[in-house]
């Protein structure tokens, strides 16, 4: 399947020339066109041979459908060379079958005309993005490839056969179903093989599973067509629909190909099966009944595939919408918890964490410390350097605080303006004061110029408070104590750490 994709799907001029030289590009195109000639020649001969004895009308005409699929997988610049190769292949198939040269030329022209109507009708409307599981694309494909192209080609073929063999003009009624079925069965399969999800069915890890289910369809078809009871014919529908549910449209149509090949062999070549005994007349009537049966099978498979594909797309869309909703909710939640400038926790998150840690400390009888700190003379810094430099200064303070408080349970928040807070669970007073002093010294070491400050650089003042909460206490007690310590640091000259002297009975 990978070989099919790499060889028949032409990705464009730049892709080829990027990997191959000019000579290799030409050689690759020649090889592709030669392969198309052989493919269409063999398929046209098989179609003619399978219709031997029935006015050369096969049950399914494979050649034009295969050519259409390959053309839809190539850019428009390759369509005319591919049509020429398809014409030559059809011509060789007719010659090998025994038709005269004029008859072979005329009938090959009818086949190429059918493919041209289909490829230009479908390809121009849809480009390279042909997906027959979408309703609009399927309707265009049915209109041009399954109906219009085969109808025009069948009428012209009827005229050609009347001129060369004197056959009645009703022959197109027999050619049309064969061409239409070929388009409806072969094209979806080959287009599906160019899609990643379909090629995966034939990947190394899944090919045995795929062949197993196709083998079950083949066994069921053999069993049904080996009997003469007509009602057994409809037992082929459940396996086909199972393939649709399991593998999608391409799997279902691939199953139809298996049914068509086996059914044609029984009905046309060995004259055995339910269609033979039911239509105990001419081979043409038996082929027509086989075509009608296969048409109903393809129609059923296509409709069920579209329903299931739409359902999968709706489910996938809902899943993606739910994922986007969750991402948006997470982003909004983050915005509700984070300060936009510094990336620290905001005041709302600070209040929530402080209450939570306060309760946990009270239950565990452990100390909790709170640091409040701000930038000394920040208003003068803002007035002197502007708000952009002021924002940069605040971000630097947040980075310094983050580098000092490395425990996962510590919480740093922007308290408001140039004020910050740090919650330190299970931290005694001496450890909290030591951390505050390291933060103050590191900020001073940054040496951010501040002419309005006595230190001539940006500094911070820190207030610290530590307590072991009791049940009757309120969390504001700790905040008030840390706030008083901060103002004490300011009054003492800034760029220093002060701590609250809480009653000793409350300390561990």
Tell me the pLDDT tens digit for each residue of 112-151.
999 999 988 887 766 656 777 677 787 888 888 889 999 9
Q: Please indicate, yes or no, if residue 271 is contained in any of the structural domains.
A: yes
Least confident of 126-140, 325-339, 343-357, 361-375: 126-140
Number of domains the chain is built from: 3
CA distance 215 to 243: 11
Q: Please indicate, yes or no, if residue 79 is contained in any of the structural domains.
A: yes
Whole-number average pLDDT of the chain: 82
Q: Pick from 161, 194, 227: which residue ends a domain?
A: 194
Q: What is the model's pLDDT at position 506?
A: 44
pLDDT digits (tens, 9 = 90+) for 216-233: 999 988 888 887 766 778
- Indicate if 267 and 315 belong to the same structural domain: yes
Q: Please indicate, yes or no, if residue 436 is contained in any of the structural domains.
A: yes
- Indicate if 25 and 169 belong to the same structural domain: yes
The β-bridge partners of 499 are 464
pLDDT digits (tens, 9 = 90+) for 271-317: 777 777 665 567 767 777 777 788 788 778 877 877 887 788 788 88
Q: What is the model's pLDDT at position 18?
A: 47
pLDDT digits (tens, 9 = 90+) for 98-117: 889 999 999 999 999 999 99
* Domain span at 112: 1-194
Residue 228 and residue 275 in contact, taking contact as beta carbons nearer than 8 Å: no
Instruction: Assign 467 to helix, strand or coil.
Output: strand
- Indicate if 427 and 373 belong to the same structural domain: yes
Calculate mean pLDDT across residues 86-94.
Answer: 94
Q: Please indicate, yes or no, if residue 466 is contained in any of the structural domains.
A: yes
pTM here is: 0.54
Instruction: Assign 416 to helix, strand or coil.
Output: strand
Q: Pick from 194, 226, 258: which residue ends a domain?
A: 194
Counting beta carbons within 10 angstroms of the beta carbon of residue 184, is it exposed (0 to 12), middle (13 to 18) or buried (19 or more)?
buried
- Percent of the chain clearing pLDDT 90 (strictly above): 29
CA distance 146 to 79: 19
Task: Calculate ∠ Cα 250-259-252, nearest 5°.
Answer: 20
Residue 449 and residue 457 in contact, taking contact as beta carbons nearer than 8 Å: yes
Q: What is the model's pLDDT at position 1?
A: 47
- Indicate if 248 and 151 belong to the same structural domain: no
Q: What is the model's pLDDT at position 431?
A: 92
Residue with the bigger pLDDT between 199 and 300: it is 300
Q: How far is CA 257 from CA 194, 217, 264, 295, 482, in A?
A: 17, 10, 10, 11, 81
Q: Pick from 172, 194, 216: which residue ends a domain?
A: 194
Residue 238 CB coordination number (10 Å): 10
- Indicate if 247 and 368 belong to the same structural domain: no
- Percent of the chain clearing pLDDT 70 (strictly above): 87
- Indicate if 472 and 438 belong to the same structural domain: yes
Is the pLDDT at 371 greater than 60? The verdict is yes
Instruction: Assign 62 to helix, strand or coil.
Output: coil
Q: Please indicate, yes or no, if residue 342 is contained in any of the structural domains.
A: no
- Indicate if 13 and 146 belong to the same structural domain: yes
pLDDT digits (tens, 9 = 90+) for 36-57: 999 999 998 888 887 655 555 6
CA distance 290 to 299: 14
Closest Cα to residue 376, out of 311, 456, 308, 318?
456
Is the pLDDT at 249 greater than 90? The verdict is no
Q: Please indicate, yes or no, if residue 82 is contained in any of the structural domains.
A: yes
Q: What is the model's pLDDT at position 207?
A: 84
Task: Calculate ∠ Cα 224-229-232, nearest 5°.
Answer: 45
Show the DSSP H helices in 365-472 as ranges.
Answer: 378-385, 387-404, 429-445
Is the pLDDT at 11 greater than 60? The verdict is no
- Indicate if 222 and 327 belong to the same structural domain: yes
Q: Please indicate, yes or no, if residue 200 is contained in any of the structural domains.
A: no
Calculate mean pLDDT across residues 470-490.
Answer: 90
CATH number at residue 432: 3.30.70.270
- Indicate if 59 and 130 belong to the same structural domain: yes
Element (H, E) at 414: strand 411-416
Q: Please indicate, yes or no, if residue 199 is contained in any of the structural domains.
A: no
Q: What is the model's pLDDT at position 434?
A: 94
End-to-end CA distance of the chain: 74
- Indicate if 333 and 367 belong to the same structural domain: no
- Indicate if 492 and 444 belong to the same structural domain: yes
- Indicate if 138 and 243 belong to the same structural domain: no
Q: What is the model's pLDDT at position 56?
A: 57
Residue with the bigger pLDDT between 61 and 373: it is 373
């Amino acid at each position: 399947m990978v070989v099919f994709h790499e060889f028949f799907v032409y990705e464009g001029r730049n892709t080829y020339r990027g990997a191959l030289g000019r000579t290799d590009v030409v050689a690759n195109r020649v090889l592709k066109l030669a392969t198309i000639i052989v493919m269409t020649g063999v398929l046209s001969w098989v179609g003619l041979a399978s219709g031997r004895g029935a006015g050369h009308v096969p049950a399914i005409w494979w050649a034009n459908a295969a050519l259409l699929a390959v053309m839809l997988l190539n850019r428009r610049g390759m369509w005319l060379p591919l049509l020429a190769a398809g014409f030559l292949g059809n011509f060789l198939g007719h010659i090998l079958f025994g038709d005269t040269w004029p008859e072979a030329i005329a009938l090959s022209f009818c086949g190429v005309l059918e493919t041209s109507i289909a490829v230009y009708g479908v390809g121009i409307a849809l480009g390279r993005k042909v997906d027959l599981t979408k309703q609009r694309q399927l309707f265009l494909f049915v209109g041009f490839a399954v109906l219009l192209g085969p109808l025009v080609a069948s009428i012209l073929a009827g005229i050609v056969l009347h001129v060369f063999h004197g056959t009645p003009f009703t022959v197109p009624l027999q050619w049309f179903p064969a061409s239409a079925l070929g388009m409806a069965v072969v094209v979806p399969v080959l287009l599906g093989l160019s899609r990643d999800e379909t090629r995966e069915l034939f990947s190394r890890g899944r090919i045995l599973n795929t062949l197993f289910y196709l083998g079950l369809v083949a066994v069921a078809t053999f069993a049904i067509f080996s009997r003469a009871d007509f009602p057994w014919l409809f037992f082929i529908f459940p396996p086909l629909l199972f393939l649709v549910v399991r593998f999608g449209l391409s799997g279902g149509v691939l199953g139809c190909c298996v049914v068509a090949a086996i059914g044609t062999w029984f009905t046309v070549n060995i004259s055995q099966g339910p269609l033979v005994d039911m239509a105990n007349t001419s081979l043409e009537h038996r082929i027509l009944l086989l075509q009608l049966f296969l048409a109903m099978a393809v129609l059923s498979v296509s409709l069920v595939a579209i329903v299931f594909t739409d359902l999968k797309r709706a489910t996938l869309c809902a899943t993606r919408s739910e994922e986007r909703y969750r991402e948006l909710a997470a982003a909004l939640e983050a915005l509700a918890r984070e300060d936009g400038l510094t990336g620290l926790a905001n005041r709302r998150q600070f209040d929530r964490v402080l209450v939570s840690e306060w309760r946990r400390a009270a239950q565990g009888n452990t100390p909790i410390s709170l640091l409040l700190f701000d930038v000394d003379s920040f208003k003068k810094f803002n007035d002197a350097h502007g708000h952009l430099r002021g924002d940069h200064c605040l971000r630097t303070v947040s980075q310094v605080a983050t580098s000092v408080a490395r425990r996962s349970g510590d919480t740093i928040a922007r308290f408001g303006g140039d004020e910050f807070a740090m919650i330190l669970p299970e931290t005694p007073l001496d450890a909290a004061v030591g951390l505050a002093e390291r933060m103050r010294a590191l900020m001073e070491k940054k040496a951010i110029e501040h002419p309005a400050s006595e230190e001539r650089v940006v500094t911070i003042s820190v207030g610290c408070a530590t307590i072991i909460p009791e049940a009757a206490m309120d969390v504001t007690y700790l905040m008030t104590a840390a706030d008083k310590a901060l103002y004490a640091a300011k009054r003492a000259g800034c760029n220093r750490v002060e701590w609250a002297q809480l009653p000793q009975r409350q300390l561990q």
